[in-house]
Amino acid sequence: MTAGRVERDGVAAIRPVVRVGAPTERRNPHSFDLDLMSTRDVLTVINEADRRVPAAVAAVLDEIAETVDLAVAALRDGHRVHYFGAGTSGRLGVLDAAELAPTFNSPRHWFCSHLAGGPDAMWRAVEDAEDDERGGAAEAAECVGAGDLVVGLAASGRTPYVLGALAASRERGAATVLLCANPEAPAAGSVDVFIGVDTGPEVVTGSTRMKAGTAQKLVLNTFSTAVMVRLGRVYSNLMIDMVATNAKLRGRMISILVEATGCAEEVCRVALREADGDLKTALVALVSGAEVPAARAALARSAHQVRGALALLAS
């Protein structure tokens, strides 16, 4: 670590400088002449680098599966899932958590996202926020409880804000996961599950909004979608817990009923209306042939699991 000098309110101040040795900071030999290439060649180099990401994610599916099982157990027991991240990693966590409620009608408290620097950091870089290890620890201490699952998001695997949050979460009895693009991260041994996606050096050296960010987006989508599937918020491959907040989504509800039941569109419209707009209730009623009150009661008895409700009605 070395020090850098910066001017603050007319007074010179010393700030720490860290040289990170993670793979994400190394130079990519395929893009040495990037600034001399044609536009088409620049795009080709980026695209060829991006092709590495899905394979890198495939290599850590076992670790993602372990994280899914931890999350499902936590949520079923009334606990929560937390994302802690900074910069691009943190913003991707915010995005993933924000999309779960409208897509799966999940309770908003299930997934909690924490971004170094607070809400303003979604739109602009907040100086030194990611270096605030104590800030990450304090934030975790305020909101993480025993039995929760805490997922740390850090491209390099060393972000102090994230590591501080993970350490404090462990002390509070939460399960911890570190998702990064550095398989060599020293913090791997201090979490319950380590997901080190080997995306290699970026096309633009150190720009982890590229492959590392893409990998984190894929992992988070895979993780949270699988959690919702395991919790019964998908029937077959259909979104059955979605919130119809606009005309397109109301139309999608009808399409889902048609696909799931094989019934005519008008029959599905009537069933949805009789179920007061509740897609699950309409679906169970149409598939089982039961009346809406019976379908609603079966869902209540099966923790709102469609297949469980259908099994109850069949018996």
- Annotated catalytic residue, options 25, 63, 66, 99: 99
Q: Could you write out the DSSP letters of every residue in 127-174?
A: TTGGG-HHHHHHHHHHH--TT-EEEEE-SSS--HHHHHHHHHHHHTT-
- Digit-coded pLDDT (tens) for 225-239: 999 999 999 999 999
130 is catalytic: yes
Res. 246: pLDDT tops 90: no
Instruction: Tell whether the torsion through CA atoms of 242, 248, 251 and 256 is positive or negative.
Output: negative
Band of pLDDT at residue 1, cut at 50, 70 and 90: very low
d(CA 168, CA 142): 10
Mean of the per-residue pLDDT values of the chain: 92
Backbone angles phi, psi at 112, to 5 degrees: -115, 125
Residues written for the chain:
315
Pairing of strands 149-153, 193-196: unpaired
Q: Tokens at residue 283, please?
A: 């679906």
Dihedral in degrees, nearest 10, Cα atoms 93, 97, 103, 108: 180
- State in Å, rounded, how far the first CA of the chain is from the last one: 68
Q: How many CA atoms lie within 13 A of 157 on its CB side?
A: 27
pLDDT tens digit sequence for 140-171: 999 999 999 999 999 999 999 999 999 999 99
Burial of 140 (0-12, 13-18, 19+ CB in 10 A): buried
Task: List all residues 6 or more positions away from 170 whose beta carbon is below 8 Å from its beta carbon.
Answer: 176, 190, 191
DSSP string for residues in 237-278 = TEE-S----SHHHHHHHHHHHHHHH---HHHHHHHHHHTTT-
Distance between CA atoms of residues 142 and 152, nearest Å: 16
Q: What is the dihedral of CA 92, 97, 102, 104, to 10 degrees?
A: 120
Residue 211's pLDDT is 95
Q: Name which of 24-33, 55-64, 231-240 the model is least confident about.
A: 24-33
What is the bridge-based pairing of β-strands 234-235 and 2-8? unpaired
Is the pLDDT at 122 greater than 60? The verdict is yes
For residue 17, name the pLDDT band (cuts at 50, 70, 90): low
Rounded CA gap, 110 and 132, in Å? Answer: 26
* Angstrom distance (rounded) from CA 55 to CA 60: 9
Q: What is the pTM of this model?
A: 0.88
pLDDT of res. 8: 54
What does R_g of the chain's alpha carbons equal in angstroms? Answer: 23
pLDDT at 52: 95
Per DSSP, the residues of 25-89 read: GSPPGGGTTGGGS-HHHHHHHHHHHHTHHHHHHHTTHHHHHHHHHHHHHHHHTT--EEEEE-HHH
Task: Identify the band that residue 65 occupies on the pLDDT scale cut at 50, 70 and 90.
Answer: very high
Q: What is the pLDDT of residues 170-207, one digit of tens each?
A: 999 999 999 999 999 999 999 999 999 999 999 999 89
The yes-or-no answer on residue 127 being catalytic is no
| Region 271-294 average pLDDT | 95
**Residue 68 pLDDT > 80:** yes
Euclidean distance between CA atoms 92 and 300, whole angstroms: 34
